[in-house]
Amino acid sequence: MPLNTVDINRQRGHFSDREQLWLFGYGSLIFKVDFPFRDCRPAYIRDWSRRFWQGSHDHRGTPEAPGRVATLIREPGACCVGMAYLITPAVFEHLDMREKNGYLRFSTPLTFTDDRAPDQEDGLVYIATEDNAAFLGPAAEEDIARHIARAQGPSGPNRDYLLNLADALRTLGADDEHVFAIERYLR
């Protein structure tokens, strides 16, 4: 897979024909909302775990010294808590650029955790799969924290990504041992 996924995502076209759609955010899309949306609701998706296993060449690191950012890894029975945004397909142009370093659009069932109806919808999520060129893979959480502590890129220190995400997850009431363990080592 090429390092830049913009063209692949355009061809995949998931939900491009809809008037509006739900986007599920689990990483920086939770705490850095630089796109227009019509509504937002806390939500989770099943059978995926958030892991700091994706390299970042363009936001929290550089090609020579990539940072580590979140992606989702398939794990039956797991539950990943995040934030869902109701967007229009016009926002794809911005999102595909922002997520171009290995992330592909996938469709997913999502469940909302507020008390509004409906409580389920199909949505879209950006996932950096293991076959993308920037994928770094597993490491001990202490080593991930060390890596994050020294990385930085055009969007700022890698540390801010992890700490902002940990704070946002606490606000959402999410119990994410992986993220909170890295946070403890970092702090």
183 touches ligand SIN (CB under 6 A): no
Question: Could you say which of 15, 26, 44, 85 contacts ligand SIN (CB under 6 A)?
Answer: 26
Q: How many CB atoms lie within 10 A of CB 150?
A: 12
Q: Is 99 in the site for ligand SIN (CB under 6 A)?
A: yes
Q: Looking at 21, 43, 45, 69, which residue binds ligand SIN (CB under 6 A)?
A: 69
Q: How many residues bind ligand SIN (CB under 6 A)?
A: 9
User: Is 70 one of the binding residues for ligand SIN (CB under 6 A)?
Assistant: yes
Question: Using CB under 6 A as the criterion, what x/- string covers residues 124-163 for binding ligand SIN?
Answer: --x-------------------------------------
At which residue do the structure tokens 């739900």 appear?
22
Closest by CA to 133, choosing from 104, 176, 111, is 104
> Is the distance from CB of 36 to CB of 86 less than 8 angstroms?
no
Q: Which of 29, 134, 168, 174 binds ligand SIN (CB under 6 A)?
A: 29
- With tokens 């930085």, the residue in question is 152
Residue 140 tokens read as 């001990």
Catalytically annotated residue among 99, 130, 177, 183: 99
Q: Does 166 bind ligand SIN (CB under 6 A)?
A: no
Q: Is 25 in the site for ligand SIN (CB under 6 A)?
A: yes
Which tokens in the block code for residue 5?
């996924």
The β-bridge relationship of strands 152-153 and 120-128 is unpaired
Q: Is 19 a residue of the active site?
A: no
H/E segment holding residue 123 = strand 120-128
Active site amino acids: 99
